[in-house]
Structures are given as structure tokens and as C-alpha cells.
Amino acid sequence: MDMERQSEQAIALIREAKNIVALTGAGISTEAGIPDFRGPGGLWGDVEKLNFLSLSGFRRSPEGFYRASSDLINAISRAEPTSAHRLLVRLEETGKLKAVATQNIDGLHTTAGSRVVHELHGTYRTGRCTQCAKAYEMAGFYAEIGAGRLTLPLCSVCAAPIKPDIVLFEENLPEEAWIKSVAAAEACDLMLIFGSSLVVYPAAELPMIAIAAGAKLVIVNMDRTGHDSLAAVTIHGKLGDFANLTLPLINH
């Protein structure tokens, strides 16, 4: 079945739904130019860099962490929301979409205009001191690092390293974001899964929670997922193509 027919089926479900929740993964961000950790050339394929992207790696060498993540942070800093991000904003504006639960750290949902976003893996935009927990906006630090004028952001109060509010290996998900995502999944009648391979847990539990509560799934992803057989509609293709087909019909 071609994407146009599948999109029509997805749109019919969206029109019927009263409480939609979206779960988004790396695929919605790769279309914005942000590399996938798991994809070719991704950070997961670079063992040397990967060693710094854990909590123990950060503690061992905060400077190493910022070096290892510099390319990713630069890509995120340049990225703009895509038509898929705008589709979710539009669905929120109609009152149907109640929340976005995202596995991404780039903040593009908020940039696009989504108001209810649960960032399951944290955000690169803010950070806090590893000693006194003073909160910081990180953009200025990233700019200084990118210009070669800084190797490690330090707290203005106690001079300890500042860590971005992203979930590193060995860290738990932010409790509030997870609890709110579970509650949203339990209350929804339709879950839109955009660009997630559904292999990273516990985020991949959310579709099962939604199904257990009686919701239907629509999955749009380039590759197959282990949840495809459970979905009412599964589309293997670009999110941008799906969004460009869907947006005009949602708007009317």
C-alpha cells in the first residue's frame, strides 16, 4: 500500500481520536540534520567517544565529554524544526494532541511551538553544577566551546564542572517526565509514534501501556519496528513526506 493510502487511514484515526499522544525518536530529528546515535557514523559507533557519554565517563573527564559531544551539539544548535514537528504543533492547536513524549534532547518540539513536551532523555539546552546544582542555560557555553575559547563550563559559584541536563548512560530517566508520559499513554485513545525504532527502554514501553488502555497505534518510521504488528497503521517512509500529506488535511 502506498503512503498516500496509508496516510489517509492515519488521518481517519486522527479525526476520530479525542486524546492523542505522540512518541518521537531519533527519526524526527535526523530529518532536521541531527545525526542518529545508532546510525552510520553515529556516536554509538565510536567507542572512544562513547566512553565519555556515560555518567562515569563524565565524572572521569568532563572535558572529554564536551569534546566527544561537540559535533552533536553543533548539529543540534543549527537544526530547525521539520514539517513533522509542525504537524504535532498543529494537532495540539486543534485540541486533539495532549502531549509529546520525546526521546530526543534537541528541544525542537519546543522550538516548533509544542507546549506539552515530556523530554524522556533530558535536554541539551540547560545544565547544572555537579556540586551545588545551580542551574544554567547552556547556549553561551556551547558557543564559547565552539569558538575554541572554552573547554569546560564551570560553575560561577563553586567552580565545579557543569553537566548538561541530558540522560547519559548509567543515569535514570527524569522521574517527572516519565511519570507524566506514562499517565498520558494511559489516557490516550491514539498514540502517534514518529521516528522511533522502539528498542530503547523504558520509552519503548509506552506503546504497550497505550494499547493496554485501549488505544490504537500509528507508526511512521523508515525501518520496521518490533511493534508494527500491533499498530492500526504502519508507514515505512520519511516523516516529512507523511507530514506534508497530512498537514493540509488537518488544517481543513
Provide the pLDDT for residue 228.
95
Please give the grid coordinates belonging to residue 91.
494537532
User: What percentage of residues in the chain have a pLDDT greater than 70?
Assistant: 94
Strands (E) across the chain are located at 20-24, 97-102, 117-119, 122-129, 135-137, 162-166, 190-194, 216-221, 233-236
User: Is the same domain home to 69 and 111?
Assistant: no
pLDDT of 159:
97
207 and 190, same structural domain? yes
Which residues, in sequence order, are CB contacts of 160 under 8 Å at separation 6+?
129, 130, 131, 132, 154
CA distance 216 to 153: 45
21/138 same-domain check = no
Tell me, what's the pLDDT at 252?
Answer: 54
193 and 239 inside one domain: yes
pLDDT for 8 equals: 92
Q: What is the per-residue pLDDT for 145?
A: 92
The pLDDT tens digits for 26-82 are 999 999 988 875 544 455 456 666 778 889 999 999 999 999 888 888 889 889 999
Judge whether 162 and 130 are in contact, CB under 8 Å. yes
Q: How far apart are the first and last CA of the chain?
A: 25
Query: For residue 91, is pLDDT > 80?
Result: yes
Do 238 and 187 reside in the same domain of the chain? yes
Over residues 147-170, the pLDDT tens digits come to: 999 999 999 999 999 999 999 988
Among 153-157, 159-163, 229-233, 244-248, the least confident range:
244-248
Active site residues: 121
In this structure, the answer to whether residues 43 and 26 fall within a common structural domain is no
At 126, which CATH number? 3.30.1600.10
The Cα 118–Cα 94 span in angstroms is 19
113 plus 227 within the same structural domain: yes
Mean pLDDT over all residues of the chain? 92
What's the structural domain count of the chain?
2
User: Are residues 222 and 141 part of one domain?
Assistant: no
Q: Which residues span the domain enclosing 233? A: 1-33+80-121+173-252
Q: pLDDT tier at 251 (50, 70, 90 boundaries)?
A: low
Question: Among residues 112, 143, 166, which one ends one of the domains?
Answer: 166
Same domain, 187 and 235: yes
The verdict on 106 and 143 lying in the same domain is no
103 lies in the same domain as 222: yes
| CATH code assigned at 187 | 3.40.50.1220
